Chain A
């Protein structure tokens, strides 16, 4: 019987032929925790009477969510993480290194066929590398740290076939927002999403990370993609390791197959307070914004910053807008510095903050005020997400955010792209 990508990866890691809805115990290739989840995992590790981590080369902690620490309480939790990783002898990425979901791919330790668990819901991002990676909580993380294993219910898969050519001014972010709006926030709960089609193949790796990242916003356990030459070339920048791509069988069984023609897609916006509350930009164009944010594990990569800079070159943000930029990693920060991207953004009016999560999760770096509207490249616009339940968050592509920062209201980026 044919298998999906995820069924193959779970078979290879559990030593049994795995099909949807079966339960397997599989070994994992990498285990990651961040500063919002690791402290509780350390506690669970201790209550499980764990002694060492299963493999110091296959574990990392990242301090990215509240980084650098804005509060005493956070500092204590960061210290706990540093002491734990130091005593167990595994890598901790400290402040300024970047967002976990950029750092783990950049580490070169994850690639086609890998199985990864991370105590962060957007761990599904590495599906762009043809890896099965998924988010878990702190207790599962502790179990993974100790045993190098995890139990899984093998998910069913929805295949998203996206064909056609994305029009000018329309990006991977618009496509994934459109898919989420279509299937809704729980349209793929307990399932895996497989993204295929020539529109997906045409995306850069950056665009693919954006799409895989947001699989969780439709409830999915993973956002899988096939590996191609672009995947392999991207990986070769970071590692010599030879990964073997995992392809779905032609007779694999899918829970559903959904087809999309992207050729007439317009820039999309997710309106407050739901990620699946999606409309074409025209419907909300003109809505005033007080804050614009480009960054996060969804859209803080070099291409995202470059797309914004292309629109902002030689222009200035509107006087009543605050514009915050958080590069997804130190490497990206440096690249954007060297090629002039950051200079363009700062000249336009950007406040660049530490590589990491920035204001995404509302702990620091730009909490909006009551009644304010924010346009952001992040993946969630829940009420209170950025630290204030009385603010309104709109999600869009870096181009749409850049255009909106310039005018002070939600703006179709195609007005600036000739």
Chain B
């Protein structure tokens, strides 16, 4: 999987309430509608700033807080191609993989807002074209690669009728 785009940078501990506020998630299952409010409490105009394929880049503990799967889905439906962070909260991490949003653990200090980058998951590397540097990516557990390759957990279940990691 190869993605290319510009970066939008946030700090550490971006919680699920910031990603999509609880007050919206109960209202609807329409993810396109929810996506309009993504990151709203941190940057009210965020949704309009995104060009399809862009990346969210953050510090540590991205996605801490609730188990709401609306968080990775809203990011995905806002046309973000992947989230890059130094570390992720575990429920968010699982949810992202399960719903097919690539999440990449790497040293994000070498990425600034607006940098033009290329994320090459197969090669396990991020190429920061603006800065001319390559950043290694922490590999995913094999189970997660399998789920991501199958197109998310729902597709995995559909294909195998249950968990199949052999």
- The interface of chain A, by Cβ under 8 A from chain B, is 23, 25, 35-37, 39-40, 43-44, 47-50, 65-66, 71, 73-74, 77, 119-121, 123, 135-140, 142-143, 146-147, 149, 151, 153, 185-186, 189-190, 219, 221, 274, 361-363, 367, 380, 382-385, 387, 389
Contact = CB atoms under 8 A, between A and B. Distances in A.
A362 B163 contact: no
Contacts of B23: 362-363, 367, 384, 387
Given A185-B64, A186-B60, A189-B87, A140 B26 contact: no
B162 A221 contact: no
A73 B28 contact: yes
Contacts of A389: 21, 40-41
A37 B90 contact: no
Contacts of A186: 12-13, 60-61, 64, 87, 89
A57 B72 CA distance: 31
A25 B146 CA distance: 14
A138 B152 CA distance: 12
A35 B26 contact: yes
Given A40-B70, A49-B158, A149-B163, A139 B22 contact: no
B2 interface: no
A156 to B, nearest CB: 12
A151 B68 contact: no
B29 A77 contact: yes
B13 A185 contact: yes
B99 interface: yes
Contacts of B72: 137
Contacts of B21: 362, 384, 387, 389
A40 B91 contact: no
Contact of A219 (B28, B66, B89, B165): B89
B7 interface: no
Given A186-B61, A189-B61, A135 B67 contact: yes
Given A149-B162, A384-B41, A121 B91 contact: yes
Interface in B65-97: 65-70, 72-73, 87, 89-91, 94-95
B65 A380 contact: yes
Interface residue tally on B, bucketed by range: 35 or more
Contacts, number: 152
B37 to A, nearest CB: 10
Nearest to A186: B61
A219 B154 contact: no
A370 B66 CA distance: 24
B94 A137 contact: yes
B153 A121 contact: no
A205 B108 CA distance: 43
Contact of B41 (A39, A136, A380, A383): A383
Contact of B95 (A120, A137, A383): A137
A147 B163 contact: yes
A188 to B, nearest CB: 10
Given A137-B98, A140-B153, A40 B29 contact: yes
Contact of A37 (B15, B69, B87): B69
A44 B65 CA distance: 22
A215 to B, nearest CB: 12
Contact of A139 (B29, B87, B89, B153): B153
B3 interface: no
A190 B94 CA distance: 11
B154 A37 contact: no
